[in-house]
A = this chain, B = another copy of it.
């Protein structure tokens, strides 16, 4: 069968395609619409196709389309190539650029969209990456608890999926466990830049990081509650996986602030992984003497305090003030609206992506690890009020 489009169509049809059908061919992986011995249409066109159509060599087409040494080509040739490219809807193949230059303009993002804070981080990463024509591959580790029915994901496999696709860098929210550290070495040993959010890896990994200024956050909350006259304060914390997780830091710094004030006290309760948050919140609110304020380590935990208060017929903020952390999307719509520490997720994402791109482009070749610490701000709403006189 003679082919209308390609010299090699015969090769193609004998090798892979079933004659008369739509088929995908080995070593000529355009989708050919074949009918009655004629190839009717082609899915993807290559530079070779463009060059053939314009009757020039492949390098010439390449240079003209990339506008390299444009002046060295006659106007006639230039137009021939541009017309052919437009007609064939040519699009460059970045995979080839990837194997040639070793940079794929792709970033592995190992951050799960847990809640609106993380979603906005993803937005920030996305928006910044595409301004430099980079693209994120979103893979996640250890999110099985809430959604996945397929059980936990193999961390190492996930990292390999990224390496195999030759990503230029990784932004991650690292599970803080020794074995994950080992997996991280897979990246650093191949000199793939890593940027961590919310946790700093040990310096030998050479990973940049962006973290929240937990101490500043603790100061904001402590000052706010102390100014309102609260002295018996409870903390509903999240148990982190390690001694220096954000949850631990959030508690420690807060306790430090409260301890510095004579007459003020803080007692902390930590929610373990599968513990019932409502029960813990009730435990706090039924303590004797009852705390006049509760600082929850996240807005999600603050919800439990609201539920517990409702069950115990306590009014917020009249009987107990509540402060959350993160200012998630629902915080402003709780009743009463929740006072919370705002983390600027979009900005975190933006700066994370910016920093990683700068690192990839070699801007810090001389300097060491870059660490960004993000400030946060207190958003005062209706869930906090002066401590009642007693």
- List residues of chain A with CB under 8 Å of any chain B CB: 21-22, 24, 26-27, 29-31, 43-44, 89, 91-96, 98-104, 106, 109, 112-116, 119-120, 122-124, 126-127, 130-131, 133, 135-140, 143, 147-150, 153, 157-158, 160-166, 186, 189-192, 303, 306-307, 310, 329-330, 333-335, 346, 362, 365
Q: What are the 10 closest A-B residue pairs judged by CB atoms, nearest first? A: A29-B102, A43-B191, A330-B330, A113-B113, A113-B119, A123-B147, A303-B333, A31-B191, A95-B98, A95-B95
A130, B147: Cβ atoms closer than 8 Å:
no
How far apart are A244's CB and chain B's nearest CB, in angstroms?
27
A99, B96: Cβ atoms closer than 8 Å:
yes
Q: Given the complex of chains A and B, what is the CA–CA distance between A163 and B89 in angstroms?
A: 11
A126, B138: Cβ atoms closer than 8 Å:
yes
B135, A139: Cβ atoms closer than 8 Å:
yes
How far apart are A129's CB and chain B's nearest CB, in angstroms?
9
Q: Given the complex of chains A and B, what is the CA–CA distance between A172 and B306 in angstroms?
A: 37
Q: Given the complex of chains A and B, what is the CA–CA distance between A122 and B119 in angstroms?
A: 11
- Check A95/B104 contact, CB under 8 A, given A22-B365, A140-B126: yes
Question: A153 — which chain B residues lie within 8 A by C-beta?
Answer: 127, 130
B100, A122: Cβ atoms closer than 8 Å:
no
- Check A164/B119 contact, CB under 8 A, given A346-B147, A365-B22: no
Question: A160 — which chain B residues lie within 8 A by C-beta?
Answer: 91
A150, B127: Cβ atoms closer than 8 Å:
yes
B138, A136: Cβ atoms closer than 8 Å:
yes
Question: A330 — which chain B residues lie within 8 A by C-beta?
Answer: 303, 329-330, 333
- Check A95/B346 contact, CB under 8 A, given A137-B135, A140-B126: no
How far apart are A338's CB and chain B's nearest CB, in angstroms?
11
B123, A93: Cβ atoms closer than 8 Å:
no
Count of chain copies: 2
- Check A164/B89 contact, CB under 8 A, given A114-B119, A150-B131: no
- Check A136/B137 contact, CB under 8 A, given A29-B102, A303-B333: yes
Q: Given the complex of chains A and B, what is the CA–CA distance between A43 and B360 in angstroms?
A: 14
Question: A26 — which chain B residues lie within 8 A by C-beta?
Answer: 101
A100 is contacted by which of B27, B157, B166 (Cβ under 8 Å)?
A: B27
B123, A143: Cβ atoms closer than 8 Å:
yes
In the complex formed, the residue of B with least CB distance to A331 is B330
Q: Given the complex of chains A and B, what is the CA–CA distance between A243 and B9 in angstroms?
A: 46
Q: Give 10 pairs: A residue, B residue, CB < 8 Å, sorted on A.
A: A43-B189, A43-B190, A43-B191, A91-B160, A91-B163, A93-B164, A94-B164, A109-B138, A306-B335, A333-B334
Q: Given the complex of chains A and B, what is the CA–CA distance between A30 and B43 in angstroms?
A: 34
B190, A89: Cβ atoms closer than 8 Å:
yes
Q: Given the complex of chains A and B, what is the CA–CA distance between A299 and B103 in angstroms?
A: 43
Q: Given the complex of chains A and B, what is the CA–CA distance between A310 and B337 in angstroms?
A: 12
Q: Given the complex of chains A and B, what is the CA–CA distance between A103 and B106 in angstroms?
A: 17
A89, B150: Cβ atoms closer than 8 Å:
no
Question: A100 — which chain B residues lie within 8 A by C-beta?
Answer: 27, 29
B130, A158: Cβ atoms closer than 8 Å:
yes
Q: Given the complex of chains A and B, what is the CA–CA distance between A44 and B112 in angstroms?
A: 28
Instruction: Among A22, A126, A189, find the residue whose CB has the most chain B CB atoms closer than 10 A.
Output: A126
A92 is contacted by which of B114, B164, B192, B335 (Cβ under 8 Å)?
A: B164
